[in-house]
Amino acid sequence: MADPQGQGPFRGIYPMLYALFAADGSLDRGANDAQVEACIAGGVHGLAVGGLASECNKLTVEERRDHARWTLEAAAKAASDRVPVSVTVSDNTVGGQIESVKRAAEAGAAWAVLQPPPVKSASEEELIRFFGAVADASPIPIGIQNAPEYIGIGLSNAGLIELNRRHPTISILKAEGTGLYIGRLAEESGGAFTLFNGRNGIELLDSLRHGCAGLIPGVEACDVESRIYDLHMAGRANDADRAFREILPLLHFLMHTIDHLLCYGKRLAARRIGLSEVHDRGPAQAPHPVGMAILDHWSRDLGRLGQ
């Protein structure tokens, strides 16, 4: 089993920021600044932007790059000690990913995460060559998002290990899966990777106990998850377990699908940030009264984020 405390400089809770839209459908920079400030005030250990919860598939290339740049600028203003920011890039070409990584690095990103191109028939060898070409041109550490359940394509554990062997700068994994999957990946890779799980934190403590350095959940409960992480790292296992049991029903409700998370998780995040309204960029799942009632029930004890 890998030791999370020995897994390099990146660790803790890095919430994946939502793409928040104005009434006219454009990205709302003011709302994003408020989101960044609330997360930092809530005690997060870093920020992530550009992934599935950032609706990367609904943004143009320039919007994705703007979202990352705005986040980096807001984070630099909101914290006296710089909060590390991870930028996920989802361009479909090697050249596009290299350019996005370089722009993120120039803006101050601490590390970048590469999503695979949406070619489900691509072989592992093709994916290794794709990721390797981007990593070799990167000025910052590179991670891979391995989430075949959500993206539809990914690498086996053996493929990930071979990728790191050929390209050691690929040293971080956002490996979405169960605690069992994380534990086996940590053992098989022998500490080659700094591991993060996603899945909105539903595997938070199992992930930390079995090889993860941190998690990349949503924004909506990132303050609670950060406290749980801190309790765990302080050796207060019973307190961490107790706090996790209290938040788990909410996390479980939110993490049915990515579309479901974007519908209900974004509304909870907006409420906790203090935004008056959520504007979806369609097509999008619409909230249902029953869903909102369930959300309200399990989030009833959560106040303003960061206060």
Residue 170 annotated as binding site: no
Residue 94 burial (10 A CB sphere; 0-12, 13-18, 19+): middle
Task: Sheet containing 212-215: give its strands across.
Answer: 12-13, 212-215, 194-197, 170-175, 142-146, 111-114, 85-89, 47-49
- At residue 103's C-alpha, the angle toward residues 98 and 104, to 5°, is 100
224 in Cβ contact with 201 (< 8 Å): no
> How far apart are the C-alpha atoms of 44 and 160, rounded to whole Å?
28
Whose tokens are 């060898």? That residue is 125
Sign of CA dihedral 217, 296, 26, 276: negative
Q: How many residues does the chain have?
A: 307
Six-digit token string for 55: 């609706």
Which residues participate in the annotated binding site?
216
Which residues participate in the annotated binding site for pyruvate?
216
